[in-house]
């Protein structure tokens, strides 16, 4: 199974639950990030994405661990 928007949303939402829910403007940014990450990691198996996401330090702008899995960092 490949990475889908639902999987990306699930992982990003976990960080928002820990660090606080987004405002309306942040919610739009959240949805934009979901699209970007889904496109960049569509070739990565979902299980690898989910596993890497557990090891992230919680940054919503960069996931070095996931980037290592995918071999690229989205902007």
pLDDT, tens digit (0-9, with 9 covering 90-100), for 8-29? 887 777 666 655 555 666 677 7
Q: Is the pLDDT of residue 72 over 50?
A: no
Q: Is the pLDDT of residue 3 over 60?
A: yes
Rounded-to-integer distance, Cα 48 and Cα 30, Å: 21
Reading phi first (left if > 0) and then psi (alpha if -120 to 50, else beta), residue 74 is in beta
Residue 46, helix vs strand vs coil: helix
Q: 61, 55, 65: which is closest to 74 by C-alpha?
A: 61
- Residue 2 sits at φ, ψ, to 5 deg, of -95, 165
Q: To which residue do tokens 């890497």 refer?
A: 52
């Amino acid at each position: 199974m490949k990475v889908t928007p639902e999987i990306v949303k699930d992982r990003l939402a976990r960080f928002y639950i820990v660090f606080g829910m987004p405002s309306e403007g942040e919610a739009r940014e959240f949805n934009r990030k979901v699209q970007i990450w889904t496109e960049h990691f569509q070739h990565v198996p979902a299980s690898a994405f989910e596993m890497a996401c557990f090891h992230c330090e919680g940054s919503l702008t960069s996931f070095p661990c996931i980037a290592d899995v995918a071999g690229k960092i989205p902007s």
